[in-house]
Every structure is written in structure tokens, then in C-alpha cells.
């Protein structure tokens, strides 16, 4: 919902120095959870490990019922689930040409749902350099970067979890993170094959997908 105020605020809408008055407003957005990677990062960074552990246990108990909260490997299982579900989410974004716009760790959900998208957009035709955020001059979060940015954010999640993992769990978590790219690529290919009506496995499927995207780019 959008609640408009009678008070004026100064805004530089395009960050180009052209400041003007606009009516203030409050946007209300709803989601089943607002826990993000950044939520855990800040606790780990400040050394609040007891609070980090308590919050993680609450998140697991509330939103990850398949993971036993008393399991000694619960944080490893949690990380594995977030890695695979993040790969699935970004694959879905890419399958419909959705650009989030601001893919930092504070905007990446631990439940792998799409939250906090402000300057988002959809491509009209395929362009890996498409970016809807007018303030992103470096194209950091262009649509072609979303998969790699997802992996970067997951590496920050692992960094936040490491104080709670033993040496064996840390090694396993690193292996899980390395599998992110393969998981993403497999899901991305599966979604595009479904869109194209391709059945079974054929060594030319990936070539066909890449070729059609390139044709779209040229058009």
C-alpha cells in the first residue's frame, strides 16, 4: 500500500543534482519474512555470536521445519538449503527477464523470496547489460551479473556462519558453495528448455538456447 503525506520532502530523483519538492509518502510492503543475509552479517561482524546463534535457531525453527533445531549440523543444512533455493530463485528471475536492481546482501532473503526490489524492471528483449536502476552507473547489478552476485552474497552468508561451524562443517559448506554455479546452470537450462518445449536431453540444447538469446539481442 502507499500512504501519501501532506508534507513536502526534497528529493533528487535521478541523482543528478536536480533537487525538487515532492509530496512525502510511505510504502508498505509485506512478506512472510524480512530476514536477510545482511541480518546475520551484522551480528557476526559485531561479534554477537550468542545472539547470532539464537536468531538462527529461531529462523530455522520458524521457516525451515525440515531441519531439526537440535541437530548439530543444522547450520550446515540451513546453508545448503539457502544456496540451492537462491540458485532456483535467480534462475526464475532470469527465465522471465526480471532484473532486481539492488542485489546487495541486505536485499537477499534467507527464505529465497523476492524482497526489497525498488528500481526493478523487465527486459523487453534480451540484453545482459540491462539495468533498471538509474543510480547504478557501474552496472554492478545488471541482469547479466545476477547469478554471480548471488554467489558473492552466499559467500558472505558463509562468512557470517563460520564462527558457528566446526572445521569439518566449514569444509563441507565451502564445497556446497562451489556447487552453486552448477545448480544454477542446471535449473536455468531446465526452465528454458521448458519454455522452448524441448524434451529429453540433447547436446545441442544449450547451443539452441544461447543462439535464441543472441537472436533476441540482435533484434
Catalytic residue status for 106: yes
- Distance (Å, rounded) from C-alpha 136 to C-alpha 120? 12
- What's the confidence (pLDDT) of residue 216? 64
Predicted TM-score (pTM) of this structure = 0.86
Q: Which residue has the higher pLDDT, 213 or 89?
A: 89
Angle at 109 between CA 105 and CA 112, to 5 degrees: 125
**Each residue of 164-206: pLDDT tens digit?**
999 999 999 999 999 999 999 999 999 989 888 888 888 788 8
Name the catalytic one among 16, 106, 124, 166.
106
**Each residue of 13-41: pLDDT tens digit?**
777 889 999 999 888 888 899 999 999 99
- What's the confidence (pLDDT) of residue 29? 82
Under a CB-based contact definition with an 8 Å cutoff, are residues 154 and 177 in contact? Answer: yes
- What's the confidence (pLDDT) of residue 76? 98
Length of the chain: 219
Confidence band of 218 (pLDDT split at 50, 70, 90): low
The domain segmentation of the chain, as residue ranges, is: 32-217
Confidence band of 217 (pLDDT split at 50, 70, 90): low
How many beta carbons lie within 10 A of that of residue 205, not counting itself?
16
Amino acid at each position: 500500500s502507499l500512504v501519501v503525506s501532506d508534507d513536502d520532502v526534497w528529493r533528487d530523483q535521478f541523482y543528478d543534482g536536480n533537487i525538487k519538492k515532492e509530496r512525502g509518502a510511505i510504502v508498505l510492503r509485506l512478506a512472510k519474512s524480512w530476514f536477510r543475509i545482511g541480518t546475520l552479517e551484522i551480528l557476526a561482524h559485531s561479534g554477537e555470536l550468542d545472539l547470532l546463534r539464537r536468531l538462527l535457531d529461531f529462523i530455522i525453527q520458524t521457516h525451515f521445519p525440515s531441519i531439526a533445531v537440535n541437530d548439530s549440523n543444522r547450520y550446515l543444512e540451513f546453508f545448503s538449503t539457502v544456496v540451492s533455493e537462491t540458485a532456483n530463485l535467480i534462475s526464475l528471475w532470469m527465465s522471465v527477464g526480471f532484473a532486481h536492481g539492488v542485489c546487495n546482501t541486505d536485499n537477499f532473503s534467507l527464505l529465497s523470496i523476492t524482497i526489497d526490489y525498488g528500481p526493478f524492471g523487465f527486459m523487453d528483449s534480451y540484453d545482459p547489460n540491462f539495468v533498471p536502476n538509474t543510480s547504478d552507473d557501474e552496472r554492478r547489478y545488471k541482469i547479466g551479473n545476477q547469478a554471480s552476485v548471488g554467489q558473492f552474497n552466499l559467500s558472505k552468508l558463509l562468512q557470517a556462519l563460520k564462527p558457528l561451524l566446526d572445521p569439518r562443517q566449514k569444509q563441507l559448506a565451502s564445497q556446497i558453495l562451489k556447487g552453486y554455479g552448477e545448480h544454477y546452470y542446471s535449473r536455468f537450462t531446465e526452465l528454458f528448455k521448458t519454455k522452448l518445449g524441448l524434451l529429453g536431453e540433447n547436446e545441442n540444447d544449450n547451443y539452441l538456447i544461447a543462439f535464441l538469446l543472441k537472436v533476441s539481442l540482435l533484434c
